[in-house]
Structure 1
């Protein structure tokens, strides 16, 4: 089954060119099934690019998925046209009455700020608490993962001496996990962050399980059975050129940045990088959506009925 997104969303053309099956809103209405409802809280500056990256992975599922784009209401985007936001996005206040099978919270380039210094932190905390009762399963990415695991479990983030930047080998710590079905014993994932969470702060007694880890960059993926949460601290959703664009942008701005690790052929930043993580990105998102489909209530009003506002592990 295809992904259902707004007919005029710019991501549609890119996805169709890549062979992703995209359903029109009109055609979706004719199908007598309940599509999975997935929300994307997009905190990234280049929202259009992030829409494509996430929709590419969500849309590869054989299930029909309806993607709702969500933004922070208290924050004005600087890098995305206002008419795009008005045409395709809902503020969280506009969707807080709804329930979702899945909800993705992206990263944001604000890692070095303390959480309390983030302009929209109060709204972010409300959204995280809202996911307990209104979302069957959430996937929190990079800064979104750090914010969520700190909010629910008090796990701190630490500034790095230099940016963790490049493509790094990761280990599969639990091949029996439904989220790692089909994963190799080791695989490569893009990393781009100035901060980290540490394995020593992740207490299994609170219901947290580390599923992926790198010897060089540490914890990557954590699962929490309570509320079916995933915390992924690296950018498995990145496309082939994301790291290159970050590198060339920082060089042009005179920022200190090293050539991304294990990314450009022969470390030549003028060479075209090869994507060595695409298949595992599709596996992770496909496994997540399959798990959603198998476990979410058919009656969406029942999502969250068995939960309280107690935080995971309490």
Structure 2
């Protein structure tokens, strides 16, 4: 039995509790109970979320033991630092656990307890700069879904906590169980920790269903030569209609939007795989490695190999 304790405090984000659903479905997929989660707070009793909904908790103390501790974030981590009791518990009892993790702005609590000193960590992009200023010893990677540094895990905001806990399931029970859980939770993909918090499709902000489908088709077929005619046929529009839709909703031509998708895909493959740069260029749909390098420098200001050499 693997005990998991999640620590919440007043004004915590309700979405943090959804991470326990990942553990619930992992138990189902495993065929027997592996995870035993409990919800804790400093003094126990009812704790109010940022929505005002009350959640019953057990008190922290010497008898509060877990193999993995999850620390939920609050809406305003700068204005609402963790209590002395929570910090003391993390510095003493919790730090001896197998894992300690900060969900979203829970990273601020771990940093306050000194658990992130000289550690790589991430948090919600909107609070990343504040974390860097308040805790300069943290090696902040503000553009990552989640990060593991030894026994310390931290995640970006909101749904990234699900990805982080799913990553724990994969380490504990294997990739097959993690895939079953992701499927049960209707997660479109299991995002790895190295993935960026920002999605190119979200940045393009398509409003219409047809343009969203065109972009999803393009992202799923980057290895092809993606002409306007091919995309238009996939979503049952004329090339002229689709080009106009791209301009109206994204401010970009179809070619520029697809280039952004190729760039994002190549970046992820460089960071997460051991494929050669030429193979990645082919997979992402660039003409060759030289073409990918040109687009990288134009888009990111650095050559693609610099991402790999920095790992």
TM-score category (smaller protein):
0.3 to 0.5
> TM-score normalized by structure 2?
0.41
Q: Name the structure with the higher strand share.
A: 1
> TM-score normalized by structure 1?
0.41
